């Protein structure tokens, strides 16, 4: 699937297949829509009206993290007219690789329809970068992007997608390749990330509160991979937030033992966060 044309551009090809339906989320479209409606129903009252620039959303099975994801996507849905492109940053769980992996697929499939990739953005801003390479095999196997697709297709149906799998990269390197996305008002940056894994319940609750404070306070050097599998992306975007007029809002944090019969000493954390941009008009009123 992955290829480069004679001019060094990206040659688009094919549709990334669905792999995790029936495992992480319902395979039947009608049942899936019913589930999404349940997760999206408890919309948060009184969300800020400033533009949402970044979202952190978990990527576990919907039975575990669907409620948290629904809270975040319900917030994003209120700005669907503005959001035209989603830069989706996800951890690379399957392939050992340094840097980031982009895709040459034309679109990513979901049970609710395919989501087209924004190859104009990818060709212009990502393909020339040495730290990024094409690898559709990695995208084929990665679930941390796929579990977001039904929510995206249902709540932001007109948005295109620019997916990037991350293995290892410093915040400064990641900031360079995210600059264009940050500056474009029509682009949402979505970080697919679960939080801490396999902790005793008491320790998990404490870790969740500490991590939430760390994110809300823009402490972008203090989030470790053991805190969140999307730590690389969270640190980089928190650095952007620290340098710009913006603030994080924590919609919810919970752990797997609250949503299932998961053992009390094997708790996984899930959190939903939104980063809002403060407008110049708002600042001038202070």
The pTM for the full model equals 0.89
Q: How far is it, in rounded angstroms, from Cα 96 to Cα 115?
A: 26
Query: DSSP alpha helices (H): ranges in 122-170?
Result: 136-141, 143-146, 149-155
What is the predicted pLDDT for the residue at 259?
A: 52
Backbone angles phi, psi at 173, to 5 degrees: -65, -45
Q: What is the pLDDT of residue 263?
A: 56
**Tokens in use for 226?**
């053991």
Instruction: Read off the tokens for 162.
Output: 């620019």
pLDDT given at position 211: 83
Which pLDDT belongs to residue 286?
A: 41
Q: What is the DSSP letter of 10?
A: B
Q: pLDDT tens track of the chain, all 286 residues?
A: 344 554 455 666 799 999 999 999 999 999 999 999 999 986 655 788 899 999 999 999 999 999 999 999 999 999 999 999 999 999 988 776 777 899 999 999 999 999 999 999 999 999 888 888 999 999 999 999 999 999 999 999 999 999 999 976 655 667 778 899 999 999 999 999 998 777 777 787 787 788 888 888 877 677 888 888 888 898 888 888 888 888 888 888 776 554 555 555 678 889 999 999 986 554 443 4
Structure confidence at residue 201 (pLDDT): 75
HSE, side-chain direction, 13 A CA sphere, residue 148: 29
List the CATH code of the domain at 32-284: 3.40.830.10
- The answer to whether the beta carbons of residues 129 and 139 sit under 8 Å apart is no
């Amino acid at each position: 699937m992955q290829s480069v044309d004679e001019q060094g551009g990206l040659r688009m090809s094919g549709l990334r297949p669905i792999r995790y339906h029936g495992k992480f989320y319902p395979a039947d479209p009608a049942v899936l829509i019913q589930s999404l409606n349940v997760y999206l129903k408890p919309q948060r009252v009184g969300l800020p009206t400033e533009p949402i620039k970044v979202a952190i959303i978990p990527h576990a099975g919907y039975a575990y993290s669907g409620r948290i994801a629904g809270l975040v996507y319900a917030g994003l849905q209120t700005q669907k007219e503005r959001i035209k492109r989603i830069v989706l940053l996800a951890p690379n769980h399957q392939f050992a690789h340094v840097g980031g992996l982009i895709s040459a697929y034309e679109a990513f499939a979901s049970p609710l329809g395919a989501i087209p990739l924004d190859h104009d953005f990818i060709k212009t801003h990502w393909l020339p970068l040495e730290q990024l390479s094409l690898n559709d095999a990695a995208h084929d196997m990665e679930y941390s992007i796929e579990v977001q697709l039904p929510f995206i297709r249902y709540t932001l149906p007109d948005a295109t997608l620019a997916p990037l799998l991350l293995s290892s990269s410093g915040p400064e390197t990641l900031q360079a390749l995210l600059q264009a996305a940050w500056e474009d008002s029509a682009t949402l940056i979505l970080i697919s990330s679960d939080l801490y894994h396999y902790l005793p319940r008491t320790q998990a609750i404490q870790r969740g509160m500490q991590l939430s404070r760390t994110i809300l306070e823009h402490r972008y050097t203090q989030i470790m991979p053991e805190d969140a599998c999307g730590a690389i992306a969270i640190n980089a975007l928190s650095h952007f937030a620290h340098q710009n007029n913006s603030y994080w809002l924590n919609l919810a944090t919970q752990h797997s033992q609250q949503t299932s019969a998961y053992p009390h000493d094997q708790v996984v954390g899930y959190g939903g966060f939104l980063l809002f941009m403060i407008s110049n008009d708002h600042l001038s009123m202070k």
